[in-house]
Chain A
């Protein structure tokens, strides 16, 4: 069976510090991978998606970036965090786009 891991589960970072969130998927090959952000009480905003190694599509201009160094690894990064980067970051995978499976998420607080 397929599983998706994200870490860390929670993170508190000061403004201006760097960020690296990691997501890995097990039990499937060549999945589509996604990064979403969810503000408190809001819907999910697609940040990045990837259909293969090294292939990244950015949905929203911002100070975040994503990389896919391996088939089942997806990394979200920032060089300098802003207060507005606080939120619940979710990684997801799919084989077919309408059926996506989410990781447990990382709750990021920027102070």
Chain B
């Protein structure tokens, strides 16, 4: 079967750094994506890792270890507007994504 695991909730304070982990088990693997979804809104694309290593985009970074079936999203210099749900998603077959159940990040002042 195919499954993804990520924490259901994470709380952090403004200015801090938070890491959201994602482990996956899939029959095929092309890459790992991360999406942000604010309450009531649509998901927005954050990052995509096809190869091992760290990808940095501004305050957000994403890491992938294919051998460990593991990745994480790192958010630095947290702001209140970062409060949202974050989903990891595996491209397990061509052009298809399997989404995790999401991590609700609460940023406190």
| Chain B interface residue count, Cβ-Cβ cutoff 8 angstroms | 23
| Chain A interface residue count, Cβ-Cβ cutoff 8 angstroms | 20
Q: Is B57 an interface residue (CB 8 A)?
A: no
Least Cβ distance of B91 to chain A in Å?
4
**Contact residues of A between 1 and 59, Cβ < 8 Å to B:** 32, 42-46, 49, 51
Residue from the list B50, B91, B95, B102 in contact with A43, Cβ < 8 A: B102
* Complexed CA–CA distance, A91 and B106 (Å): 27
* Complexed CA–CA distance, A96 and B91 (Å): 10
In the complex, the answer to whether A98 meets B43 with C-beta atoms within 8 Å is: no
In the complex, the answer to whether B95 meets A42 with C-beta atoms within 8 Å is: no
Residue from the list A43, A90, A94, A96 in contact with B100, Cβ < 8 A: A43
Q: Is B99 an interface residue (CB 8 A)?
A: yes
Interface residues of A (CB under 8 A from B): 32, 42-46, 49, 51, 90, 94, 96-105
Task: List 22 interface pairs A-B (beta carbons < 8 Å), by A numbering.
Answer: A32-B95, A42-B102, A43-B87, A43-B99, A43-B101, A44-B87, A44-B89, A45-B99, A46-B98, A49-B95, A90-B42, A94-B95, A96-B48, A97-B91, A98-B31, A98-B33, A98-B48, A99-B45, A101-B45, A102-B43, A104-B41, A104-B42
